[in-house]
Structure 1
């Protein structure tokens, strides 16, 4: 029973980590839908609280990992996945920060599509991690990883489309710079989700 509790802690912590990311992604979409530039400082504060909570949860996991000899999967794998999940929350927060720093005043259509892709990636990761303690027999995890890979590819195409539209329709060089950076960070969110999915897939393959 004691070992099961230790096992549950790590898998529960992974699920907790991606839930922070999912909440951030939903917040991002809400910000874009009802965009008001003057509200960005308040949004940044709220999102930073989520990111800080994610950091605290990660540190708790690392502290426990440092004290334990027996772990459900390799120690390096636990640390690696924890870091990749943490990257997702960081990148989503970076989007809002860029919008504020570059004083974005209106939202381009492709940003909504990007936000939906990011939400989809986070939700598929949440699905995969909810069954992670059953990784040796899970049929849910491989399907979720396929979906994440597909969404990341969609994000790549969207990035190309967004920049093409930006450079062919926008005449303000400052706005071009602002959205180039913002779209770049949106695309990095999709990449971060795929990186986490790749770590999950590697762990499953190496332990099956």
Structure 2
């Protein structure tokens, strides 16, 4: 299909987008929120990751507009980039809601969500590393794992909301926690969308 002797600039760009996304997700997961001031700090840093992601997307679009030929369909390259950026945007938005709610409490359900999202981000970077090596078939195993993590997040959402409505008596806290759970599940959905795009690219090109 294409030469595997040297790295393609488009695949290199996609790998950079994936790395920035993964770094942001790991930062959100590892940061220990204890005070309201912590919420401001993490929110600012996540916004910086989002801005970096937007810049990388812009650079990729410029490359696509200037190039006559691309290693795979340009629509697939752009879709892959945008869907990885959706993961970053969704994570940043969720953290912004923590700050808006002044919510400095992280429960087990949130940790479970973030754990699966981190694992998904790691798998997506591995997939982009294989894309950089032109090993499209090898990418499939990572896409499958990401989709499995999304299914796990579905289960976390169902059990966490059930528990929330059974045990939480404060309606304001209930609204806040339900919102965060649903946003985290949406990030997992974004990860699955990347996996689906990877599988489409494999089907068309491998």
Does the 8 A contact of 1:148 with 1:193 survive in 2? yes
Shift, 1:5, TM fit: 10
Within 5 Å, which residues of 2 pair with 1:20-35? Answer: 20-31=20-31, 33-35=32-34
- Does 2:50 match 1:75? no
Check whether the contact 2:15–2:132 (CA below 8 A) recurs between aligned residues. no
Unmatched 5+ stretches in structure 1: none
- 2:155 corresponding residue in structure 1: 157
3-state DSSP of counterpart to 2:58: helix
Matches within 5 A, 1:31-110: 31=31, 33-110=32-109
Q: Deviations over 1:159-200 (max 9, x none)?
A: 111111111111111111111111111001110011011111
Scaled by the length of structure 1, the TM-score of the pair is 0.92
Q: Deviations over 1:1-57 (max 9, x none)?
A: xx98996211111111111121111111123x4433321111111111111011101
CA deviation string 1:105-133 (max 9, x = no partner): 42221111111000000001111110013
Taking the aligned partners of 1:192 and 1:58, their CA distance within structure 2 comes to 16
Question: Contact 1:7–1:71 at 8 Å: present in 2 too?
Answer: no
Contact 1:124 1:145 (8 Å CA) reproduced: yes
Q: Tell me the SS of whatever aligns to 2:8.
A: helix
What residue in structure 2 maps to residue 112 of structure 1? 111
Give SS of 2:70's match. coil
Distance in 2 separating the partners of 1:61 and 1:160: 38
Does the CA contact (< 8 Å) of 2:144 and 2:195 recur in 1? no
CA root-mean-square deviation? 1.9
Q: Are 1:6 and 1:71, in contact at CA under 8 Å, matched by a contact in 2?
A: no
| Structure 1 residue aligned with 2:19 | 19
Q: Which runs of 4+ in 1 moved over 4 A?
A: 3-7
Q: What do residues 56-96 of structure 1 show as CA deviations (whole Å, max 9, x unaligned)?
A: 01100001101111000111111111111110110010111
Give the aligned partner of residue 190 of structure 1.
Answer: 188
Alpha-carbon distance in 2 for matches of 1:102, 1:197: 32
Aligned counterparts of 2:85 and 2:33: Cα–Cα separation in 1: 27
Paired residues, number: 204
Q: What's the counterpart of residue 176 of structure 1? A: 174
Is contact 2:25–2:91 with CA below 8 Å preserved after alignment?
yes
TM-score computed with the length of structure 2 as normaliser: 0.93
